[in-house]
Structure 1
């Protein structure tokens, strides 16, 4: 998901806890535009699907250069009296080839880096991003939209008003309402911020890349899974031979902390991780000064737009609505999670001591002992479980569930070019209507292919937009879903871990919001103009189904015997969700609170970190732990003052899901709720604020209780009392 600008906040009156105001505040996505002719885009076939069979980097770069120039020139020449016919519709037409070329490049960047290397993609990405800035940085367009929106004599549909609101919001966030000198100062501080981000990013990347640990001792890796051994072995074809190379890449670091029995090695790599970009490192990668300059720049930027600070400004595009409402919610979650965390750490310590651990639990021990305790408590044999989750069976169960809930049919098609033989192409048909044509399409690229695919997290999944819904241009959505699941070996199919299945369900939830939108204007269709903290609601909504017995039975079947997952394993999966849930939630709450304070206070980050840590953790803050310096999601990513967004989405999703629990999954009522969910969260996109969409589905404002119930935290608290 690419984002053009971070949001802000308007002054709000005092609200009751979690009473979400009926107001504007949104995520502003890069524009999502519709279909173009093959004459406009050399990367498309006659049927307007990507021509992957003849794709070349040279052709893609040439296309993006021409399309961005054309787009910028069009932005400078568009004028007229009718804001939609003379302006916005023409902007869509001008942007169409650019969106598709950019989407194809991104798909190949994630799915086949031999066709789209990182450097080539970043050049395309940066060029396209600069072009889009001309759309949201156009003063004449901003004024025209604002005047039209304020003119009571002009009749506008609801969707048209929302489109205009988007352009006005973007223009405001870009300072287009400021006078000449003030706009110049605002532009200057914005450029300064971008400079500091570019200064931080190579420091972070260098600090990450420079570290590695070579392991020669086979005892250390004897419990490591084979697929993980392949990823760290110097010779992947001989995973058990060694030596093995451990780096700070998340998909290497995280499993290592779980499986490594050598405490000193765990401590060493933990230390390397949390001291990245800090003053413990050599001067060239130290970033403390840079991030302080970045913080002060962002706060000044917000103040020039009339906000107290950057965190307050961020609320302008958040469903949470205000910092007061957000902090109240985080505190409710913390008050339940922290006491549970105390019990969890005490239990984990006792468990470790029973196995000859004779020290206090430290931060670098949590992942290792947690995995061992989970296996012991829940008969958790992940390798055995995998045998019950062959990818074809899981996909079949998932597609059937989507059909039942949302009354659509997913059918595989062979009509599309693909970038690798493993890639599959699907049509989606609407069973509600009589139209025989598909309403959307998607590619599925499921298997890991070594270094050919982009990978960041241990369990990666990506949704790449190629085309968006646009009735203006008669365009239907087209996306690519790209994963790193284990490939089939001989007659043995791809066998998924439960974490793989979680990623699969989440990404399909994300994709459905793009694929099933019905909004006519691409600027507010799908995930466009959806608040940042509402973007992952459908992801978590779909994942929630994985903890129901009937769903686990429907998506499982032993790859040899076809037997569904045993009842004991189903029970373990359902109960395992609450394992260390208090600790994990407190960690996310801490990072969310830290992010918000870093962007609302001018206090130096060290005392801030030391003050906040004990509010959220039972374990003490280690002396060398300076994780603020490598909090790259908020420094060089797009999530400054927005890290809390996943927690908020998860909370909203849990509340939505309780509607299905309340009817005990009665088939007829489940279908009715499924269609209501489709007609709201999957259909409406950004055409209404997420708070209003929630009310349309639930008839009330949301509550954090459902999330606490889902994680088993309220049950644990009651038991303690």
Structure 2
């Protein structure tokens, strides 16, 4: 069988990749790689960069090139056959990774290199690669006795399977619920764009009449924000907040409760095998934070500063709902709806009415212009590239007429596509024998697609999301590091990796930036000054409520992993966190944790706090632009040189200090968030 995953192509041949190709390709590459490592260790007694790290990077790159498109397609064009093939490879990849990490002879080869005279001749980025590798060997259990190594390997393998099953259940539960609305009056208050989307969704599902609601964000959000029908809001909220739980519409069919318990248990055991007290300590071994106490102090300090204002914001919302709308008791399914009413009353602006000024094409071209002014690069769309869906487009990133990076852009929500927004790597920059492999990124969002003859129109929130993911992409694509393990986002401490993404969001709130990314879809007229003033005035509307919501997620995640004990009651931990920091307490049936994919199926376990810490970094970094000019070319080039180009080649605090001239302060975050300490 001719297997496209084994072809050394510059870009993935998506149209040729079939589920039956996946497992045979991964099995063969793993066999070849293991054989290569054995030969490498037998053929060399003394090691150098060129005889150890370079060849290992090459075989790792081969595996990455085969697995990257498979993992990506599983997320964006999911099917039963592809999911089965993907899941069948997870234990193979986990076992291979752990086997490499526990290879004592390979570890000793790295130790020999780090202790040799040759190490002194390496550049700073190469030295960091070697130091990181030695750390990762220890975190993979290289020093464990054989029986413990086997136990560690089994734990990693089972965890990879469980986290994938968790993600599958969330996707399946999300796709399983729909509601056909036959009476338009039941959707009173909904904007025309949302109604058109619901009508288009119904037609796509074969309904001759009516409007179809589902749990994808572009469908869920307008109901919760605009729909006057309180009973429908309650029904949709209940379905969404009980996804993948025993409280959900499908009962225990997609229930993640036991998977959560098992994941936590196995993570705790894995950390214990390596001598850590808990998984939080294990997680921090690769992060900026020194210890769990430092993280908890940071989060609790932010909560202390934010909660009084959040309580005041909620009291204002409750008073508004009662005085203006006659609602005595505010429920969870009322928060978004009445918040939008209050925003309208206070600022006379809504996300929905801003859509016409943010057509996707204008936003994208404006985003490119912002980036060009800051970093001196430009973008060119390339045609004829093999993609996984007709909506996907492809761009080259250019500097001085030379292509330095590339990316796929997949903007719109659709069936069989995982929700949310993310950036992932397709190809990583590396240099071998003067040959440069260009970095290639996937940028994925789930925005409302074009409806009928109307182009895709984004809310301002969606514009901010796009800039966020693009910031990740820039970090990956603008790197000048030549070594894959610290190129782009690789080797960057997890609690610093959100810095470029959150940093880029700032230009969505600046008058000069908004002038570039907005223009009416029919006339191209700029955002009117009155709407601009209202948008900026409303920027920090309920910002403290949003702050404590994020702190709730962060503290829940960190405490689960720091304080884990056999038989821990996950709901009880969440309830205690809410009692400490939350101002909105959800109903008892809410099972938010059962779809919290960031920590149970993504890379944020005992690390969700990273978003808040990175906000401190990004706000403080942007404050230099506020001082020197938001399009100050010289300042932009310093950020490019010290943060984006350096990737993971140095410690993030060192890079931040190089850019800012000092260590970060929390003041800018509080100021940008409009949180005033009493």
TM range (shorter): 0.7 to 0.9
Q: Which segment drifts farther, 119-128 or 467-476?
A: 119-128
Gaps of 5+ in 2: none
> Which residue in 1 is equivalent to 2:293?
324
CA distance in 2: counterparts of 1:124 and 1:679, whole angstroms:
39
Mapped contact 1:537–1:652 kept (Cα < 8 A): yes
Q: CA deviation at 1:605?
A: 3.3
2:495 to 494, 514, 533: 533
Mapped contact 1:656–1:698 kept (Cα < 8 A): yes
Alignment length, in residue pairs? 665
1:94-133 matches, cutoff 5 A: 94-109=59-74, 117-123=82-88, 131-133=96-98
Mapped contact 2:439–2:477 kept (Cα < 8 A): yes
> Which residue in 2 is equivalent to 1:550?
512
CA distance in 1: counterparts of 2:354 and 2:167, whole angstroms:
40
Gaps of 5+ in 1: 1-37
> Which residue in 1 is equivalent to 2:651?
689
1:572-591 matches, cutoff 5 A: 572-591=534-553
Q: CA deviation at 1:456?
A: 0.7
> Which residue in 1 is equivalent to 2:343?
374
Does the alignment pair 1:221 with 2:187? yes
Distance 1:462 1:628, change over 3 A: closer
Aligned residues: CA RMSD: 3.4
TM-score calculated relative to the size of structure 2: 0.88
Q: CA deviation at 1:378?
A: 2.3
Distance 1:585 1:430, change over 3 A: same
Mapped contact 2:426–2:440 kept (Cα < 8 A): yes
Mapped contact 2:101–2:142 kept (Cα < 8 A): no
Q: Which segment drifts farther, 60-69 or 217-226?
A: 60-69
Q: CA deviation at 1:57?
A: 5.3
Distance 1:52 1:43, change over 3 A: farther
CA distance in 1: counterparts of 2:147 and 2:6, whole angstroms:
43
Q: CA deviation at 1:314?
A: 1.4
2:666 to 699, 704, 707: 704
1:146 to 97, 108, 111: 111
Does the alignment pair 1:352 with 2:306? no
CA distance in 2: counterparts of 1:505 and 1:212, whole angstroms:
30
Q: Which segment drifts farther, 222-231 or 374-383?
A: 222-231
> Which residue in 2 is equivalent to 1:262?
229
1:42-441 matches, cutoff 5 A: 43=7, 48-51=10-13, 63-79=25-41, 80=44, 81-109=46-74, 117-123=82-88, 131-151=96-116, 154-155=119-120, 156-187=122-153, 189-190=155-156, 193=159, 197=163, 213-229=179-195, 232=198, 235-236=202-203, 243-275=210-242, 288=257, 291-414=260-383, 416-419=385-388, 422-431=391-400, 437-441=402-406
Q: Which segment drifts farther, 334-343 or 268-277?
A: 268-277
CA distance in 2: counterparts of 1:295 and 1:542, whole angstroms:
34
CA distance in 1: counterparts of 2:259 and 2:515, whole angstroms:
52
Distance 1:654 1:376, change over 3 A: same
Q: CA deviation at 1:653?
A: 0.9
Q: CA deviation at 1:388?
A: 2.0
CA distance in 2: counterparts of 1:583 and 1:372, whole angstroms:
16
Does the alignment pair 1:661 with 2:631? no
CA distance in 2: counterparts of 1:362 and 1:607, whole angstroms:
21
CA distance in 2: counterparts of 1:477 and 1:119, whole angstroms:
29
CA distance in 2: counterparts of 1:239 and 1:489, whole angstroms:
17
Distance 1:403 1:57, change over 3 A: same
Distance 1:133 1:430, change over 3 A: farther
CA distance in 1: counterparts of 2:303 and 2:367, whole angstroms:
34
* Larger RCO of the pair (alpha carbons < 8 Å, separation 6+): 1
> Which residue in 2 is equivalent to 1:11?
none
Does the alignment pair 1:609 with 2:571? no
Distance 1:238 1:487, change over 3 A: same
Q: CA deviation at 1:89?
A: 1.5
Q: Which segment drifts farther, 226-235 or 510-519?
A: 226-235
Does the alignment pair 1:677 with 2:644? no
Q: Which segment drifts farther, 295-304 or 365-374?
A: 295-304
